[in-house]
């Protein structure tokens, strides 16, 4: 048996202008990794490598070249895949400088082992009998656009809403939070906010005090990543629980992960497998967080349904009751049609629906 890997580039087009504190997103480039045996070409594993521009450590001009080199090395090794040897292959095949490639290959290999059925982790979610609670995401934009998104999420049955903040006037953002609280108590609707590092350290205390008045569950990354002393102080005194996000990126060694969390000791961490090196690295973050009494949840990083499906199946393997950040499957005009569905604030894998990968084939000319 000779396993071969190749990849397909795909540009995802947003249905709307997705605003963050780092700018407005209209499209996202991603890569689908395919692993197959030339003797059975119709059975293949798929994974997704999709670094985020301006955020991932592997957002670099030679990313595609590096991905090609990893495929060539994989193809030269005449590998056999087993559950136990995938971590070994990943550690020796792919540098820690490329967490998105690690995630893509990891999930493609697990998919191949499970028969190329887009099953990464076999559990009740992938069998269609378990749902995952998720938060409804409100992107940055004008007050009117954010209010419209709020109404859509509240009307769609979400009981946890996450608002991106830091782009429009802070008073207007507080008005939006006050609007939600005028209709729903903290027991009825949980509010999360994500600043993406937008607060200046000298203003953070005042803004956090204002946010606390709205019964906020947590704030992701209130100040810019890399300010560990300042973030540790903020976590100790903030009236709103702090969740680390961007600060986790780039810490690939177990010892570094432990030192970071022990030093800052946030109330929560937010795990994005594409940015952190895949499931095995998230396993390490979760083990350390549990040991230190730190809460966590898992969030997609704007992947297509290929990556989102893998993250959802992985997430479902934990007994974590917190709503997860897995509602990004509806962002794109040209996403991959999949069995993933959302209803009343829950993500579900509809085992009666098929994957439709013709979108990729039509755009690339490569039959998958």
Listed residue (219, 251, 253, 254) closest to 238, CA to CA: 219
Catalytic residue flag (residue 272): yes
CA distance 221 to 14: 24
Which residue in the list 272, 319, 353, 356 is annotated as catalytic? 272
Which residue in the list 28, 153, 162, 164 is annotated as catalytic? 164
Query: Secondary structure of 238-269 in the HEC alphabet?
Result: CCCCEEECHHHCCCCCHHHHHHHHHHHCCCEE
CA distance 292 to 347: 29
Determine whether 92 is exposed, middle or buried from the number of CB atoms within 10 Å of its CB (0-12, 13-18, 19+). exposed
Determine whether 205 is exposed, middle or buried from the number of CB atoms within 10 Å of its CB (0-12, 13-18, 19+). middle
CA distance 57 to 360: 26
CA distance 247 to 231: 9
Question: What DSSP character marks residue 51?
Answer: P
The phi and psi torsions of 36 (rounded to 5 degrees) equal -150, 160
Catalytic residue flag (residue 162): no
The phi and psi torsions of 305 (rounded to 5 degrees) equal -65, -20
Q: Which residues neighbour 24 within 8 Å (Cβ) at sequence distance 6 or greater?
A: 17, 18
Return the SS3 of 15. strand
Active site residues: 164, 272
């Amino acid at each position: 048996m000779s396993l071969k890997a190749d990849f397909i580039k795909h540009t995802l087009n947003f249905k709307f202008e997705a605003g963050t504190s780092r700018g407005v997103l209209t499209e996202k480039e991603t890569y689908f990794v395919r692993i197959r045996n030339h003797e059975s070409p119709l059975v293949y594993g798929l994974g997704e490598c999709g670094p985020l521009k301006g955020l991932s450590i592997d957002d670099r001009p030679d990313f595609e070249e590096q991905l090609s080199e990893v495929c060539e090395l994989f193809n030269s090794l005449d590998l056999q895949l087993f559950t136990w040897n995938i971590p070994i292959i990943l550690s020796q095949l792919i540098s820690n400088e490329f967490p998105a490639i690690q995630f893509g290959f990891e999930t493609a290999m697990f998919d191949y082992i499970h028969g190329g059925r887009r099953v990464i982790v076999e559990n009740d979610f992938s069998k269609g009998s378990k749902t995952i609670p998720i938060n409804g995401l409100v992107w940055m934009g004008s007050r009117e656009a954010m209010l419209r998104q709020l109404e859509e999420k509240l009307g769609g049955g979400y009981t946890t809403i996450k608002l991106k903040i830091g782009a429009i006037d802070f008073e207007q953002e507080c008005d939006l939070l006050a609007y939600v609280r005028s209709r729903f108590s903290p027991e009825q609707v949980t509010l999360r906010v994500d600043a993406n590092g937008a607060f200046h350290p000298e203003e953070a205390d005042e803004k956090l005090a204002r946010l606390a008045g709205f019964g906020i569950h947590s704030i992701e990354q209130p100040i810019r990543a890399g300010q560990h002393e300042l973030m540790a102080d903020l976590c100790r005194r903030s009236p709103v629980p702090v969740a680390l996000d961007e600060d986790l990126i780039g810490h690939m060694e177990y010892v570094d992960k432990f030192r970071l969390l022990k030093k800052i000791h946030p109330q929560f961490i937010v795990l994005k497998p594409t940015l952190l090196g895949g499931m095995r690295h998230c396993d390490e973050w979760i083990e350390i967080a549990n040991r230190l009494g730190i809460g966590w949840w898992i969030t997609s990083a704007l992947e297509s349904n290929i990556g989102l499906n893998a993250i959802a199946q992985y997430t479902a393997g934990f007994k974590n009751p917190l709503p997860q950040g897995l509602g990004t499957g509806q962002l794109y005009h040209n996403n991959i049609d999949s069995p993933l569905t959302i209803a009343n604030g829950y993500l579900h894998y509809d085992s009666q629906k098929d994957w439709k990968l013709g979108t990729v084939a039509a755009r690339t000319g490569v039959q998958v």
